[in-house]
Amino acid sequence: MIELYQFPPMYNLPNASPFCMKLESYLRAQKIEYKNHYSVDTRHSPTKKLPFMRENGKIYSDSGRIIERLEAESQTPMQARLTAREKAITLGFIRLCEEHLYWVLVYTRWVDLEGNNTWKEDLQKGAKVPGFIFKVIYKALQRTVLKQLDGQGLGRHEKEAIYLLADQDLQALSDFLGERHYFFGDRATLLDHALYAVTSSIYHTPWDSRLKAIALQYENLNEHSKRMLSIFFSKGDDN
Ligand SMILES: N[C@@H](CCC(=O)N[C@@H](CS)C(=O)NCC(=O)O)C(=O)O
């Protein structure tokens, strides 16, 4: 059985991390048995990021690479019915969600204090450490995040530009999804799992975030996020 190591649930979502959410809904969709271990400790992960999993004594990290391995081992891979073109589109859009739009979510949480941002307080509520220790940990984490945003490049733009870039991402995803329930066919495939994981995190942001206001303009993406949450976690109408 797979042992899944991921961050704890937050904001009435299965997870605070889109990558963890994507992997967990994939496992559920594929009816793969797993056991959850909630933790914020990234030290045992080969990439020092979550999620990671343990199977037969071996540890694997990176949601995308884990899914790739599970797909290769599966008798009924999720992506099998897609054409090469659909798989190519999937790869491009997943990169957009995870390597670009995700970073705007990170910026919204950790950097943009507009709209009564409660990220720090919300993290503190979930942390089981005294306030003064939390402050030190939070400062260190924020420093790391700022470095990552700078390295990725998004953090070097001014705020207006960052949200404009996110709007372009969401517009492209919304246009491509159109009126369909799923991107390809009548069942969710990997792109659906990657997308809802990021958009749900945006829609469930409890403060008045600029990113959430932008995303709410895309009704089909909001419906898609609710649909995926309700199918795989019996959640969805509470954002
Ligand atoms: N490509 C990785 C990304 C995982 C990732 O970025 N996880 C973040 C949380 S959303 C993390 O663990 N961050 C801790 C850190 O960067 O130190 C995947 O798909 O699993």
Atom of ligand 1 nearest to the CA of 22: 19
The answer on 144 and 110 residing in a single domain is yes
The answer on 137 and 228 residing in a single domain is yes
Residue 239's pLDDT band, with cuts at 50, 70 and 90, is very low
The answer on 125 and 223 residing in a single domain is yes
What average pLDDT does this structure show over 180-200?
98
Q: Is the pLDDT of residue 68 over 60?
A: yes
The answer on 130 and 104 residing in a single domain is yes
Q: Tell how far the Cα of 187 is from the centroid of ligand 1, in angstroms.
A: 27
- Give me the long-range contacts of 11-15 (CB less than 8 A, separation at least 24): 11/122, 11/201, 11/204, 11/205, 11/206, 12/204, 12/235, 12/238, 12/239, 13/200, 13/201, 13/204, 13/229, 13/235, 14/233, 14/235
Residue 61, domain member (yes or no): yes
Residue 239, domain member (yes or no): no
The answer on 112 and 203 residing in a single domain is yes
Number of structural domains in the chain = 2
Q: Is the CB of 9 under 6 A from ligand 1?
A: no
Q: What is the pLDDT of residues 15-63, one digit of tens each?
A: 999 999 999 999 999 999 999 999 999 999 999 999 999 999 999 999 9
The answer on 109 and 217 residing in a single domain is yes
What average pLDDT does this structure show over 76-80?
98
Q: What is the pLDDT of residues 124-146, one digit of tens each?
A: 998 888 999 999 999 999 999 99
The answer on 100 and 39 residing in a single domain is no
The answer on 90 and 32 residing in a single domain is no
Domain that holds residue 39: 2-73
Q: Tell how far the Cα of 19 is from the centroid of ligand 1, in angstroms.
A: 7
